[in-house]
Amino acid sequence: MAPPPSSDQQLKQVLDAIPSFVFIVDKDVRVLASNTAANTFFGAHPEAHLQPLCGDYLRCVNAPPANKNCGHSQHCPECVVRNAVNAAVTGQPTVRKLHRMQLRVHGAESEIWFLITANPLESDQGDRYMLVLEDVTELVSLRSLVPMCAKCRKVRDDKNYWQSVEHYLLQHTAMKFSHGLCPDCLQLLYPEENDPAPAS
């Protein structure tokens, strides 16, 4: 019979089961470990054994020139990842803060929206912090401009098909619809229901 997994192995199994990108970082935002989702999306970092800084691991487009590390560009003071970890260091966790990041993904520059969470993590190996990046780019895109017909109110999807708003939302969200009548349509369709009772 195989021995039970160690606490480190159990933690790795839990992190790998999470579909969001999860990193264990130190107070300098150096990546000490990452889960399978992060490794799959960002690719294996060529210097993972050197514990790269988070911006380098994520391939942030604001990363400074090669002679400097993440944390030294003019954009770094506003970095939401760095600031979330800094807040966690002072005992103020960040929970699901929405932020847009420009990253190089698979060789191309991409705009990605994340919900960012950073929390202290108890560890016998010193100060550690769990950083979670939830990719919500698709949801943010759905909330942005959607072409709609000015007459029939159908919307156009990204494949150039026109469909009802209800059908579009059912395809792209978990929304369900119930139907009723607004006061204006109730008056238009059933005017007798809204007439005052005759005086007696």
User: pLDDT tens digit string along 175-189?
Assistant: 778 888 888 898 899
105 and 90 together in one domain: yes
33 vs 40: CA distance, rounded Å: 13
Which residue shows structure tokens 């002679």?
A: 67
Q: What is the CATH number of the domain that holds 80?
A: 3.30.450.20
Q: Look up the domain containing 28 and give its range.
A: 7-141
The pLDDT value recorded for residue 17 is 94
pLDDT of amino acid 47: 54
How much is the pLDDT for 119? 95
Which pLDDT score, from 0 to 100, does residue 116 have? Answer: 95
Q: What is the pLDDT of residue 67?
A: 56
> Do 23 and 100 share a domain, yes or no?
yes
The confidence score (pLDDT) of residue 146 equals 78
Q: What is the pLDDT of residue 194?
A: 66
Same domain for 110 and 184 = no
Say what the pLDDT of residue 93 is.
93
Q: Edge-to-edge strand order for the sheet containing 31-34?
A: 31-34, 21-25, 128-135, 108-121, 94-105
Cβ-count burial 131-140 (b if 16+ within 10 Å, e if not): bbbbbbeeee
Q: Are residues 125 and 164 in the same domain?
A: no
Q: Give rounded-to-5 percent helix, strand, coil for the chain.
A: 30, 25, 40
For residue 85, what pLDDT is reported? 94
149 shares a domain with 135: no
Residues 53 and 13 in one domain: yes
Examine the domain organization and report whether 132 and 151 are in the same domain: no
Spatial CB neighbours of 45, under 8 Å, sequence gap ≥ 6: 31, 52, 56, 57
Tell me what pLDDT residue 20 has.
Answer: 95
* Count of C-beta atoms within a 10 Å radius of residue 76: 21
Q: Which residues in the chain show pLDDT less than 70?
A: 1-2, 44-50, 64-69, 142-144, 172, 174, 194-200
**Number of domain units in the chain:** 2
Same structural domain for residues 103 and 155?
Answer: no
pTM over 0.85: no
Q: In this structure, are 47 and 131 located in the same domain?
A: yes
